[in-house]
A and B are shown apart, each in its own frame.
Chain A
C-alpha cells in the first residue's frame, strides 16, 4: 500500500508544517533572547544574558512587571469568586431569565478587546477609574470571570445534585453544605481558575493599553517597545512573560488533570 503510506506521510508533514508555523515565533523569541547579536538572524552569535540584564535594569519594565503582577493577583481572586458564584447559580437554580443571566456573565470574551477597551476607557473616565490599576483590574475581571465560570461549571457537572439535597435533608444549612461539600469538591477547579485567570490578565494588553494611562502594565510596555526599533530586549521580556504564564497554565493543567482522575475513581 504505497499510496496509503504516501498519504499518511503527506498528512504528517502538513501537520508538522502547521505546528511549525504556530510555534516558530514562540521558539524564536526564547532562542533569540539569549543571542549575543543585536539583530536576530542566523548564524547564532553566541550565548548572552545581556538582554535580560538590560530588561531588569529598565525601570519602566520593572514598574510594568510590578503593575502586571498586582493586577493579575487581584483579577484572579475576584474573577474566580465571581466565576464560582455564577457557575454555582447555574448548577443549583432554575429561574426566570437564567439564559440572559449566564449570557451576561459569559459573553465578554466574544467582544473584540479593542471595543471593550474603548468602552472601558469612556465609562471609567466618567467614574474616575481610568488611568488606575483598579480600572485595569475591573476590565480584566470582566474578561476573565467567564473562564473561571467555565472551569468550575465543568467540575460541578460531576457533582451529583442529590448529594447537596441529602445534606439539606439531614438538616445542614445551605451555607454549611456549600462550605463543607461544594467548595471542597470544586477546590481543584477553583485553584486552576485562579492560575488561569491570572494568566489571562497577565497577557492582556488591549484593555490595559486603553485604560492604564501612565500606570502601564508589562504587555502595554511591550506594545510601546514594538513601536520603536528592533530590540532583542522584547525577546527577553517575551520569554519572561512566557515563563510566568506557562508556570500558571501548567499548574492549572496539573490540578485539572488530578481533578478528572479523582472524579473517575469512585465511579468504578
Chain B
C-alpha cells in the first residue's frame, strides 16, 4: 500500500508540498492498511499455514514441522478418501442441478409474473433464511422426515409411505437443498430481472412460443447469473457439514465430515489439512471452469 497514489490529485492546484504528500500517504495508509493487514494475518496466513501443515508429521501424538509427503500419499491412496471425494462431488453436483431446476420456475414467476411490490417482499423473504440458524433448520427438516414425522403422517391417509430418507444420500441432498435453494432462487431472480423485456416481446412478436422463448432467448441471455447461482449451490453443498451429518447420518462420510473427524477426534491435523487443501483446489477449479463456461461462449457468438 505504500505506493498507493491518489489518482484524484488536484489538476491545477498549487504545487503539492512534500509534507502535504506525506499527509496524503498517511491518510491512504490509515484506511488501506488495516483491512489488508487483518485479512493477511487472519485469512491468508492461516490458509498458508494449512498448506504448510500438509507436509508436517505427527510424532507420538505431537505435531512436528517436517517436509514429508507422507500425508499426501496416505490421503491420495486411501480408499476412504477417494470414495468420500467422489461421493461429495457427485452429491454437490446433483444439488447444483436440482436446485437450479427447482428454482427456475419460481424465479421465472418472481421475475416476470408478479407485481413489483410482491416481488420486493418475496426477495426480502428469501434473505431471511440466511439469518436463521442453519443447524436448527436442519433439525426441523430431520423431524419432518422422521418415521413419525409430519410428512409420513400426511402420506399415511393417502395410502402412501412410509418414506424413509433419513440417514441416506437422499436425506443429505434434501439438507443441501434447504441450504442452497434460497440463494439459487434469489440469484436466478436477479439474473432473469436483467433480461431485457424488449427481447422477450420481440421473440413473442416473431411468433416464438413461450417454452421456446424461455429456452432460446431468456436462458441464454441470463446465462451468467444462472451459472453463478448453480456454482454457488455447488460450493455451499460441497463444503457443508451439517446436512450430511444430521440428515445423511454421515454414512458414507463427506469430505467435510472427514476433516471434522480427523481434527476433532482423530487428532491428525496434517491429514485433515491435505483434505482441506484438495477441497480448496477442487472449488477453485470448479469455479473457474463454470465462470469460463458462463463468460466464454459470449465471445464465440457473432
Q: Chain A: residues with CB nearer than 8 A to chain B?
A: 7-8, 11-12, 14-15, 18-19, 21-26, 28-29, 39-42, 78, 81-83, 85-86, 88-89, 92-96, 101, 104-105, 107-108, 110-116, 118-124, 126, 138-139, 141-142, 145, 149, 161, 164-165, 168-169, 173-175, 199, 203, 205-206, 210, 219, 222-223, 226, 230, 234-235, 237-238, 241-242, 245-246, 248-249, 253
The A/B interface has a contact count, at CB < 8 Å, of 250
B102 part of interface (Cβ distance < 8 Å): yes
Q: Is the CB of A21 within 8 A of B38?
A: no
- The size of the chain B interface, using a CB distance under 8 A, is 88
Q: Is the CB of B23 within 8 A of A173?
A: yes
Contacts of B126 in A (CB 8 A): 22
The closest CB in chain B to the CB of A79 belongs to B38
- Which of these binds chain A: B74-82, B105-113, B200-208, B290-298? B105-113
Query: Within the complex, what minimum Cβ distance (angstroms) separates B126 from chain A?
Result: 7
Q: Is the CB of B133 within 8 A of A242?
A: yes
Residues 1-31 of B, flagged 1 when their CB comes within 8 A of A and 0 if not, give 1011111101001000000000110011011
**C-alpha spacing A41/B128, complex, angstroms:** 25
Known A-B contacts A42-B153, A118-B276, A246-B128; the reply to A24 vs B140 at CB < 8 A is: yes
Query: Within the complex, what minimum Cβ distance (angstroms) separates B13 from chain A?
Result: 6
Q: Name 21 A/B residue pairs within 8 A (Cβ), A-sorted.
A: A12-B109, A12-B113, A26-B140, A28-B140, A82-B35, A85-B32, A93-B4, A93-B6, A104-B44, A111-B47, A114-B256, A115-B280, A119-B50, A122-B49, A126-B49, A165-B10, A175-B27, A205-B134, A235-B139, A242-B131, A249-B128
Contacts of A168 in B (CB 8 A): 10, 13
Known A-B contacts A39-B148, A122-B49; the reply to A14 vs B235 at CB < 8 A is: no
Query: Within the complex, what minimum Cβ distance (angstroms) separates A138 from chain B?
Result: 5
What 3 pairs between A and B have smallest CB-CB spacing? A112-B239, A238-B136, A25-B140
Known A-B contacts A92-B6, A139-B42; the reply to A22 vs B210 at CB < 8 A is: no
**C-alpha spacing A115/B279, complex, angstroms:** 8
The closest CB in chain A to the CB of B270 belongs to A122
With beta carbons under 8 angstroms apart, the residue of A24, A101, A142 that contacts B43 is A142
With beta carbons under 8 angstroms apart, the residue of A86, A114, A169 that contacts B13 is A169
Q: Is the CB of A86 within 8 A of B122?
A: no
Q: Is the CB of A226 within 8 A of B246?
A: yes
With beta carbons under 8 angstroms apart, the residue of B32, B47, B259, B263 that contacts A93 is B32
